[in-house]
Amino acid sequence: MRFLGFFPGSVFVFRLQDHPDQRFRFDFRDLPHVLAIAIRMGSVGIVAALQDGGAQAAGFSSYMERYRPYALHPVQFLELVAMVFYKATLLNRTPKYLITESTTAIQIIQMPMQGLSLKPIFDEWDQAAYAQHLAAHLNLPLDQVYKPPDAVITWLNGPDGQPRRLLLREHTWP
């Protein structure tokens, strides 16, 4: 199979801090109704929105890139998981494909996600709904992560908006 000029999903890979206790080095999460998955294996974290036609990768990669230089704390990775999973619920398109077959390969071309619509590809982000995803992933009560009308706690960024260095040896988890 050859995907011509696109990949049918959005995949983000992160470097993580390896937990000193082997019992806490693995985590798997999924959100089946939107085909989103995340896995943490030691020092590698992968979060993906499958079958979104690469929509999150196209619009969210620049934000995710700012965390690539850092080995993230597991709680920071869970925050990214919550973001990708929530964003996957906001996709309001179904990717469409043209498929051609030859003796050497099956080639797949994705039709433009925008189509003929002027409507954005994703519905509007709602901080309260995102906070519910974050609270669920962190196993915390909603009122510990969300203060209405739109304040959601973050471990990813400091008060200056720059990526926060959160060291596992100083901030134990779980």
Q: Give the tens place of pLDDT for each residue, 78-113.
A: 999 999 999 999 999 999 999 999 899 999 999 999
pLDDT digits (tens, 9 = 90+) for 156-171: 999 999 999 999 999 9
Provide the pLDDT for residue 46: 98
Distance CA 145, CA 173 (A): 17
How far from each other are the two terminal CA atoms of the chain, in whole angstroms? 41
SS3 at position 161: coil
Provide the pLDDT for residue 146: 98
Q: At 114, is the pLDDT very low, low, confident or very high (cuts 50, 70, 90)?
A: confident
Q: At 141, is the pLDDT very low, low, confident or very high (cuts 50, 70, 90)?
A: very high
C-alpha to C-alpha distances, 24 to 74, 101, 109, 173, nearest whole angstrom: 9, 45, 41, 8
Residue 173 clears pLDDT 90, i.e. is over it = no
pLDDT digits (tens, 9 = 90+) for 4-57: 999 999 999 999 999 999 999 999 999 999 999 999 999 999 999 999 999 999
Provide the pLDDT for residue 115: 84
* Cis, bond preceding 74 (omega within 30 deg of 0): no
Query: How many CB atoms lie under 10 A from the CB of residue 26?
Result: 11
Q: What percent of the chain has pLDDT over 90?
A: 93
Average pLDDT of the residues in 147-152: 96
Q: Which amino acid is at 103?
A: T
Provide the pLDDT for residue 117: 87
Pairing of strands 2-3, 106-110: parallel
Q: Write down the mean pLDDT value for the chain.
A: 95
Residue 174 clears pLDDT 90, i.e. is over it = no
The residues facing 72 across adjacent strands are 16
Q: Where are the beta strands (DSSP E) in the chain?
A: 2-3, 10-15, 26-31, 36-41, 44-49, 97-101, 106-110, 146-147, 151-152
